[in-house]
Amino acid sequence: MAASLLPVSQKFINGVPVPQGRKTLRLKEKYIILLVFVTFGLVCFGAFFFLPDLRDRVRLNDVKNRIRNVNEMIIPHGGIKGGEVIRHDVDDHKHLNEDVIKFQNQMQRDLAREGRVVEMGKKLNISKKDVVNIKDEIDSEKDKMMKIRKEEEKKKAENEKEKAIKVEMEHAGGEGGQGGEPSDPDVRKKREKVREMMKHAWVNYEKHAWGANELRPISKRGHSASIFGSLSLGATIIDAADTLYIMELMDEYKKARDWIATSFSFEGASELSVFETNIRFVGGLLSLYALTGDVMYKRKAIKVADKLLPAFDTPTGIPQSMVNTKTGSARNWGWASGGCSILAEFGSFHLEFVYLSEISGKSVYKDKVMKIREVLNSIEKPNGLYPNYLNPRTGRWGQSHTAIGALGDSFYEYLLKSWLQSGKKDEMAKKMYDEAVQAISEKLVKKSPGGLTYVAEYKSGRLENKMDHLGCFAGGMFALGAKYSDNEEKYMNLGAGISNTCHESYARSETKLGPEAFRFDGNTEAKSIRQNEKYYILRPEVVETHFYMWRLTKDQKYRDWNWEAIQALEKNCRVDGGYTGVRDVYQSNPSQDDVQQSFFLAETLKYLYLTFSDDSLIPLDKWVFNTEAHPLPIESANKVIEKKER
């Protein structure tokens, strides 16, 4: 309606009626535009000349206030936010030229940027005269930040890689290879004592006999028994390394590992015991592989086992006792019943060789031991018993002598453990074991007048009421196999009885250490009567049986008995240079033999340590021990994860 009152000649600009004095109005618009330019110049460039001197710093709030004033000057009742004009009164400003609005927006963005420049100047402590270079400084800082960010991302990636490697290392190997710390403070203290004993034995070997087979702890030099031939093979290093790992003596373990990787070799001419080389070297290396997943150990084990293969080249496949590592020639001990092989020796390859075939993919090792198994299973056993001697050429038994101690011991152990190792699938091994222990329990197990259970020897048609220290392992074997037998109570009681008898052989000596052999003749019970049977050479079999009985029954006396053995070892066998055997356990101050046997570190100290550890360390449902106490994994129950080689 109001529009109809205007003269017809009225002009419009941008939809707004132009009154009289048109030139004056255009001049006002130009003035506003000029004002905008002047304001921009004052704010953007004048600030540089009016900055305070170095004693004062520009505040970001000051810049914001200036921006706010410009907003009010240019657009009354409005403002600028986020680089855009905000118009509260649209009617008052809707006629502003769009170009002016765009210019205002651009100006605001520039002002905001300059405000950031000033603020950066404050943070970097830039002087007034250097403000003109702030943009370059900002760009430089941006480049630095980008570089730092890239470095941080690189470091993060490296940390993630290291973390992955650490996780891989923690999960490499089989389950339950470390840990097992007991919650009871007293038990923990005793376990730590065994760990200290291991360190004492190892440090002195390292100091006085490094690289030699064994240590003479009194004369403080290297030692080598005939079973190792003429080569320095570091038998103690190979034998002890898995114990070091299990005890988490990692500095010592790493030194052992490095020596094995760089210095251990079977090159050179030497005649070695095939049996001892297998249980100590092949068994030790395979155990280290299983515990750690380190493929270096697997490669070394293959090389050693290959050196032993010529000993199996006999008409029956029954291996001979000695092999020359250079020529491959083999022979049996001259004293062994007319050139016979020994039951405990040729019957103690199964655990190592089957596992080696499994992890190497080479069937030759398993083929060798399965041939032995077939021969033993097929030939007749007199009275159901296995004699200690077998001729490898004819396949016939030699001298009629049966014992679970020296010459026979580990054969029986390997029958049971082969079945366990296979995940209870090796039915032939289980059948042979059941038949063997039944014959032993019926024909060789006896009880003394004082009620002590023992396993006698059958020799030349008569019983000899004698038991070896070596035979004391059988208590643990009978108990381990008890729950898988037709008469669990019978064999568990048999294991407990033998464990008690072997403890008595310790308790009845002056040193509280057991002799090499003890008898049950007349008034003699669990004591030696011959001078050549009174020595103790740091053997493990008694503490081994106590360990098994503790794990299987949780009867406190078995831990107590092993603690007694620890105290006896410390009193009679510890010297400044390590541990030594004694020549007569019935003397209060016995002479010492000056030999620290490698099996003391491999077996004796390991079984003592495990006795005072929780069952989660080397659990018996996931591991079996070879006859040198090197743990090997049970198939399907304990998967070994290999470390990736780098």
Residues designated catalytic: 516
Give the integer Cα–Cα distance in Å for 437 and 472: 15
- 156: Cβ contacts below 8 Å, ≥ 6 apart: none
Contact by Cβ (8 Å): 580, 594: yes
**Could you identify the residue written with the tokens 């989660």?**
616
Q: Is 625 helix (H, G, I), strand (E, B) or coil?
A: strand
First vs last Cα of the chain: how many Å apart? 91
Burial class (CB in 10 A: 0-12, 13-18, 19+), 429: buried
DSSP string for residues in 318-371: PPPSEEETTT--EE--TTSTTT-EEHHHHTS-HHHHHHHHHHH--THHHHHHHH
Q: Tokens at residue 526, please?
A: 């669990």
Nearest to 307 by CA among 319, 295, 291, 289: 319
Q: Tokens at residue 394, please?
A: 């004819």
- 195: Cβ contacts below 8 Å, ≥ 6 apart: 247, 249, 609
Q: Which long-range contacts (CB under 8 A, 24 or more apart) does 42-48 make?
A: 43/67, 43/70, 43/111, 43/114, 44/110, 44/111, 44/114, 47/114, 47/118, 48/128, 48/131, 48/132
Burial class (CB in 10 A: 0-12, 13-18, 19+), 45: exposed
Where do runs of H (alpha helix) occur along 379-426?
409-421
Cα 61 to Cα 46, 106, 157: the distances in Å are 17, 21, 41
Give the integer Cα–Cα distance in Å for 274 and 420: 24
Q: Tokens at residue 549, please?
A: 């009985």
Burial class (CB in 10 A: 0-12, 13-18, 19+), 188: middle
Q: At what angle do helices 98-124 and 60-74 cross, to 10 degrees?
A: 170
Q: How many residues does the chain have?
A: 646
Contact by Cβ (8 Å): 175, 227: no
DSSP H/E element including 271: strand 271-273
Give the integer Cα–Cα distance in Å for 455 and 463: 10
Contact by Cβ (8 Å): 294, 286: no
